[in-house]
Chains A and B, each alone.
Chain A
Amino acid sequence: MLTRVRRWGPGLLLISPSLLLLGVFVYGLIGWTIKVSMSDRHTAAESDGFVGLSNYVDLFTNDINGRFLHSLRNLLIFTVVFLLGTMLLGLLWAFLLERGVRAEGLFRTVYLFPMAVSFVASGVVWRWLMNSGQGDDAGGLNAIFGQLNLGFLQNPWWTDPEWGMVAMAVPAIWQLSGYVMALFLAGFRGIPAELREAAAVDGASTFQLYRRVLFPQLTPVALSALIIVGHMSMKMFDLIMSVSGAQWLTEVPAVYVWQTLLTSDYAKASAISVILLLLVALVIVPYLVQTMRTERRS
């Protein structure tokens, strides 16, 4: 017992500041936000009246123009397109690169470079590219579509009231497909060579090799990618702020929190934040628990 204390006492000392900081600044502050979300602090003035879940109920049933539901709908469209786009492109790029091609390093470096740039910086150029003008007023991508005789591709991008969020996902796909590619590439390279050889011995065609042997091996990687990109999508804030600014058309919950804070409605902003946290926790917690379990078994 004494040796244990002597051996690990300093270790505890070493990690306790970090644990304390995280305890306070992650879990403590989340608790605080939950408390504010159940209060009536709707103005800058301090107010501690407890109102239970009514701020949450109001968001779903009593928000002006159904603003919160609108932001959830936007988030859903954005997430579906963003996930589909990054997964397809990421897998395709990894597939094209996995058997080794000349200048593989160059392709990988270029495909992944948007990850090193901030959404705020890339938002500047995407705002220009996704210029909503068409015909004679066409700018950005619409202009190039016009020049290439692809005029039918011209569209209002994110300013479309119904499907604008599909366009908003385009820069996000540009930014993160390389990341998904890197994950898949690592997955491909982690598959033991024996599996490929065994398949070749059994006379499997290339198509069968991928369909029956390699792709099934990538399922865990695909799941990781889905969860990581999915939770990033739910938190999407920088990109939307820099492409469209805080606008009704493209509002998602993370932006709604910011807009609500500008009006000093702390209770409502907290309630939206807590819902956002729950959405993220819903995908991340099972993932973390499962990862820890697999790790312990190995």
Chain B
Amino acid sequence: MTTTTTRRTPPPAVAAPPRKRRGPTTGVIGRTFRYCLLLLFLLIVLMPAYVLVVTSFKSGSDIGVNGQWNLPEQWSTESWAKAWTALGPSFVRTFQLAIPVALISSLLGAANGFVLSRWRFPGADVVFTLILFGMFIPYQAVMIPLRDVVSTLGIAPGIPTLIFVHCVYGIPICTLIFRNYYATTVPVEMVEAAWVDGAGLIRTFRSIILPVSIPGFVVAVIWQFTSAWNDYLFAIFLSNTRNGPITIALNALAGAQSPDYAASMAGALITSLPTLVVYVFLGRWFIGGLMAGSVKS
């Protein structure tokens, strides 16, 4: 897995020849320019967040064409209450969806990843490529029969169906996360030693591999939780506002012909809160999943 570790070389034994240095003035100007650019982009990236927060605290009468970028004249939680009434039930349902998805997918991924990282059977690369392709397909290409299949299998509509499909289509990315993790971080010797001691594959996996898999699990759990939480495509095809996740409810709230922008934006913030909290506190692992998504190990 590509991580953002910095590779530092030990200091050279022989003093390096004096480097050509830029004059101190260009250095200062360059650095100032660099920070100005960085700050400018920071503000641009945060601008939609500003709008979301500010607008969500305005009351209905406060949202005119004039002063729409200003702070609210009177901070009001009226729109938050309205948004929560519209989104509350689906907010709870989305936790019921995303948590099982995260746990089941990572367990499946750990098992697959372990086997595929150690077992070089003939055609293993082809099998792995076929697995990976599953995470890139446009899901429209399976969606039409998928609806019939899940109902034929007798899986209850709404959240249970979505748990099932997220687990199935999450197998590729979770397998990849764990395969790369095991291939790079778990030494071959550890596994070999267990085998010499007569441990079978399952026992090796349970007692040697699983205990050192925590970082892999954190990455996979965060990734799957975020994907399930943010998903809209499966949700719109396989559920509705009454039994679906929060993205569907938010789209219903915000998608009206003349939407209540204050309530919509409060709703967008409510919808984003769980994934943002995860991102802020566990960002390092979130990035781990992002990197795995580019396949390169």
Contacts and interface: CB of A to CB of B under 8 A. Distances in A.
B200 A6 contact: yes
B46 A284 contact: no
Interface stretch (B71-79, B125-133, B154-162, B211-219): B125-133
A182 to B, nearest CB: 6
A143 B69 contact: yes
A193 B7 contact: yes
B3 A237 contact: no
Interface stretch (A18-26, A58-66, A78-86, A157-165): A18-26
B250 A121 contact: yes
Contacts of B255: 242, 245
B271 A120 contact: yes
Contact of A193 (B9, B128, B200): B9
A288 B132 contact: yes
Contact of B138 (A197, A238, A254): A254
B251 interface: yes
A14 B113 CA distance: 10
B279 A238 contact: no
Contacts of A274: 141
Contacts of A110: 42, 45-46
B45 A121 contact: no
A107 interface: yes
A36 B294 contact: no
Interface in A10-50: 10-12, 14-15, 17-19, 21-22, 25-27, 29-30, 32-33, 36
A21, A120, A138 — which one has the most chain B CB atoms within 10 A of its CB? Answer: A120
A197 B46 contact: no
B247 A15 contact: no
A22 B9 contact: no
Given A8-B121, A30-B137, A120 B2 contact: no
Interface string B19-55: 1101000000000001101100110011010011001
B15 interface: no
Nearest to A296: B125
B188 interface: no
Contact of A111 (B41, B65, B116, B145): B41
Nearest to B227: A118
Contacts of B133: 26, 281, 284-285, 288
A174 interface: yes
Interface string A228-272: 100100110110011001000000001001100100001001101
Contacts of A14: 111-112, 114-115, 201-202, 205
Contacts of B251: 120, 241-242
Contact of A125 (B52, B115, B143, B290): B52
Nearest to B247: A120
A141 B272 CA distance: 22
B7 A190 contact: yes
A246 to B, nearest CB: 10
B293 A238 contact: no
Given A111-B41, A136-B65, 20 more contacts: A11-B118, A14-B111, A14-B114, A14-B115, A19-B127, A26-B137, A29-B142, A30-B141, A30-B142, A107-B38, A115-B290, A118-B272, A120-B232, A183-B294, A200-B19, A228-B293, A274-B141, A281-B137, A287-B295, A295-B297
Q: Which 5 A-B pairs have the closest CB atoms?
A: A118-B230, A116-B279, A29-B142, A277-B141, A32-B145
30 contacts: A14-B202, A15-B111, A21-B168, A26-B169, A29-B141, A29-B145, A118-B229, A118-B232, A120-B271, A121-B271, A123-B254, A124-B264, A124-B268, A125-B51, A125-B52, A192-B9, A193-B8, A228-B294, A235-B138, A237-B140, A237-B232, A238-B247, A272-B140, A273-B144, A274-B141, A276-B138, A276-B141, A277-B138, A281-B137, A288-B129
Interface of A: 6-8, 10-12, 14-15, 17-19, 21-22, 25-27, 29-30, 32-33, 36, 89, 92-93, 96-97, 101, 107, 109-129, 133, 136-140, 143-144, 147, 174, 178-179, 182-183, 185-186, 189-190, 192-194, 197, 200-201, 203, 205-206, 220, 224-225, 228, 231, 234-235, 237-238, 241-242, 245, 254, 257-258, 261, 266, 269-270, 272-274, 276-277, 280-281, 284-285, 287-289, 291-292, 295-296
